Amino acid sequence: MNLSESQSTRLDVHAYVRECDLYLRRVMAFAGVTILTVILCFAVVLPFRDQIRDSLADRFGMPAAELAIGLTPTPALLVMFIGILWLQRTANRTPELNCPMCEKSIVGMKHLVVAAKCCPHCGVRILNDVE
């Protein structure tokens, strides 16, 4: 690889930082949505817990009723896992969040990458100098 090819594969520092910050905001948003979903699930079930348990116990027996009540946070877990999958796929498709040489994720190492301007995995220079 000659110098011009090396220069063309380097990322812009500002674009890299912007994409890392956007990714972090998305992570925080999904964490907040997950917490709100847990609160909502419990807020809906807790006031009616005894009625729900008695109704389910009459139909399916007490062990099944207790299990169903125990599954209250399941929607929140689904939101969390769907969010994690979506965020991971988004990060993999965003060129600024992956090393252009080894293609490994560099999103979690923002300060190290910006300071060294090199990929922490393969050591190749990946960021242009700030102008």
Instruction: Judge whether residue 46 has pLDDT over 70.
Output: yes
What is the mean pLDDT of the segment spanning 12-41? 91
What is the mean pLDDT of the segment spanning 67-75? 89
What the block records as the tokens of 30 is: 């999904």
What is the mean pLDDT of the segment spanning 46-73? 91
Q: Are 117 and 129 in contact (CB under 8 A)?
A: yes
The single-letter code of the amino acid at 27 is V
Report the candidate in 105, 78, 96 with the shortest Cα–Cα distance to residue 22.
Answer: 96
Q: Are 97 and 91 in contact (CB under 8 A)?
A: yes
Instruction: Report residue 10's pLDDT band, with 50, 70 and 90 as the boundaries.
Output: confident
Instruction: Report residue 131's pLDDT band, with 50, 70 and 90 as the boundaries.
Output: low
- In the chain, the percentage of residues whose pLDDT exceeds 70 is 92
Instruction: Judge whether residue 87 has pLDDT over 60.
Output: yes
d(CA 15, CA 128): 11
Give every CB contact of residue 26 below 8 A, 6+ residues apart in sequence.
Answer: 87, 90
